[in-house]
Chains A and B, each alone.
Chain A
């Protein structure tokens, strides 16, 4: 028996690394169909690839998208925080659901393994995907704060220089500030800090995160519960980011839990070392799929 699923149509604003990687992931989705890619540079490789894969390329930015907006119901923003602040309003007026991969944080933070189910995304018209560092580390902090109070969470994200594009480099404060905010708001830590280091080593290093968590209570029994909780969270993450794994065994020492994880990308468009970009595009696609399922249900009910 093979039911025909109606795929929800998606547009991608931004034809850079992230936008193009998103397209490949959407092409694989059973629930989503990429239909439009919006860029501003006619020479961009992303737009050429989009055309090749049957998407409608738009070369004159959001203005061009307005003319064909009925081609998409969900819109991914893969430009910059500044651009999204303008585009968010337009997309809302057009009645689109926006999934924002910039640190603009117009909508609430979504970390699929943590709060996708409880966030009622089907009724939100704009959601924010935090940062790559946030997608990789907030779930671990949440897994710990589910067991015991977390007084402080600190993240050190190391990414290869090659995977940090001009957007990240020019807005490095936004990365650390937004990630730290999500560690508290979504991860459940009372205080937080985020550090990011760009490493130029060749061959490029995989994205690596060290997560230091100060817990308010500790015992051997709690350590076991915490370990089970983070093991489970890692499995949930692996469901949509297969290259997510422990870099070393979690270390428990007094009130400090140290977890190191690395993220190997799927190598869709970006090389495998760009796990940092992969994790945020994967999270965005997962979020859109949940929206799509709900939209399909609505259709059934209405129909």
Chain B
């Protein structure tokens, strides 16, 4: 493993979910400076659902899209600033704007079986001269072979790096190994892996991916991200140091940033608890956590039951609007059952 691993930090993008997209400009500036100084290679900064994500459906961000990107760009001296784009949510026009503001990396994200909606956006990223990445979300929902077929589509559109994305934190270590190794054998692009820690495998899965030869790994300070968070950057760096994996990040600096700055900013602790564990267990998109929790309280139903139902319905990333309907149905069922008991 002689080559240098690229660390793509997602504190300011996936972390947006954990704070309901409410980072202030000051917080974005401070976190960017700390991350940049620590040596991470790419800092992704956007609404949690990417460009154009600020909405009733996903939650409005505190700052405008322009301010989020601009603040990150202004405060990153060495790291490149990246943006996420989900076709269907963000558009090429959004991407052109982000590029103008100084974003150099774009990750075009689709559900694991829908890569062909990314063609125009990947081509636009390449045309703009951006570091262009294909991002296959919810990778546990399809077989390694199918995932490879979808990845090949993204490769044909011009993506330079393609990610196995464990959006639900549902992949086990063998699941990661089989997907990454197949990519490694059959793709000529670079490969990346994005973990969620819902099953407590965030760092372990990332290490497996590194052993299988990925070029990029996602992580965030204290794991700041949707669900139980991503691979915690400081934990990942500690393990990589012990294993002699080469990277650019300073351990003490990320430890301090996680402890002194990131954790005090958290509104709901980013941790494995019964509900975030349930995301990984049922294979539900991690950003559904806060929505399911709120709906559970509002309708007086167990939020875990909501997640089970949502998993049965095969909801994909971005379908937060289905949660309320499920909660309403469960509440009705509960009423009917009570009626029978009386």
User: A200 with B114: in contact, given A173-B120, A210-B57, A248-B328 (CB under 8 Å)?
Assistant: yes
User: Is A77 among interface residues, defined by CB-CB distance under 8 A?
Assistant: no
B residues contacting A by CB (< 8 A) are 52, 55-57, 87-89, 91-93, 111, 113-114, 116-117, 119-120, 313-319, 321-322, 324-325, 328
Distance of A202 Cα from B91 Cα, bound (Å): 28
User: Is A54 among interface residues, defined by CB-CB distance under 8 A?
Assistant: no
User: Is A260 among interface residues, defined by CB-CB distance under 8 A?
Assistant: yes
Q: Which one of A193, A199, A212 contacts B314 once the chains associate, using CB atoms below 8 Å?
A: A199
Distance of A256 Cα from B87 Cα, bound (Å): 26
Residues of chain B with a CB closer than 8 A to A197's CB: 88, 316-319
User: Which A188-217 residues have C-beta < 8 A from chain B?
Assistant: 193, 195-202, 205, 210, 212, 214
User: A200 with B314: in contact, given A195-B89, A251-B324 (CB under 8 Å)?
Assistant: yes
Q: Decide: B319 and A158 in contact? CB cutoff 8 A.
A: yes
Q: Decide: A198 and B328 in contact? CB cutoff 8 A.
A: no
Distance of A201 Cα from B322 Cα, bound (Å): 14
Residues of chain A with a CB closer than 8 A to B315's CB: 199
Q: Decide: B88 and A172 in contact? CB cutoff 8 A.
A: yes
The A contact surface, by secondary structure, is strand
Q: Which one of B55, B119, B120, B313 contacts A193 once the chains associate, using CB atoms below 8 Å?
A: B55
Q: Decide: B120 and A247 in contact? CB cutoff 8 A.
A: no
Total count of chain A residues near the partner, CB < 8 A: 33
Distance of A202 Cα from B313 Cα, bound (Å): 9
User: A154 with B88: in contact, given A169-B116, A200-B314, A251-B324 (CB under 8 Å)?
Assistant: no
User: Is A170 among interface residues, defined by CB-CB distance under 8 A?
Assistant: yes
User: Which A231-264 residues have C-beta < 8 A from chain B?
Assistant: 247-249, 251, 256, 258, 260
Residues of chain A with a CB closer than 8 A to B117's CB: 169, 172, 198
- Min distance, Cβ A11 to any Cβ of chain B, angstroms: 30
Residues of chain B with a CB closer than 8 A to A200's CB: 111, 113-114, 314, 316
Q: Decide: B113 and A170 in contact? CB cutoff 8 A.
A: no
Which residue of A is nearest B112, CB measured?
A200
Q: Decide: B91 and A173 in contact? CB cutoff 8 A.
A: yes
Other contacts beyond A156-B57, A195-B57, A197-B88: 9, CB < 8 A = A169-B119, A193-B52, A196-B88, A197-B316, A198-B88, A199-B314, A199-B316, A200-B314, A205-B313
Residues of chain B with a CB closer than 8 A to A173's CB: 87, 91-93, 120
Distance of A214 Cα from B56 Cα, bound (Å): 10
Residues of chain B with a CB closer than 8 A to A303's CB: none
Residues of chain A with a CB closer than 8 A to B91's CB: 173, 176-177
- Min distance, Cβ B84 to any Cβ of chain A, angstroms: 15
Which residue of B is nearest A161, CB measured?
B114
Q: Decide: B313 and A212 in contact? CB cutoff 8 A.
A: no
Q: Decide: B56 and A154 in contact? CB cutoff 8 A.
A: yes
User: Which A88-120 residues have C-beta < 8 A from chain B?
Assistant: none
Interface centre among A172, A177, A196, A260 (most CB of B within 10 A): A172
Residues of chain B with a CB closer than 8 A to A258's CB: 324
Q: Decide: A260 and B321 in contact? CB cutoff 8 A.
A: yes
User: Which A122-165 residues have C-beta < 8 A from chain B?
Assistant: 152, 154, 156, 158, 161
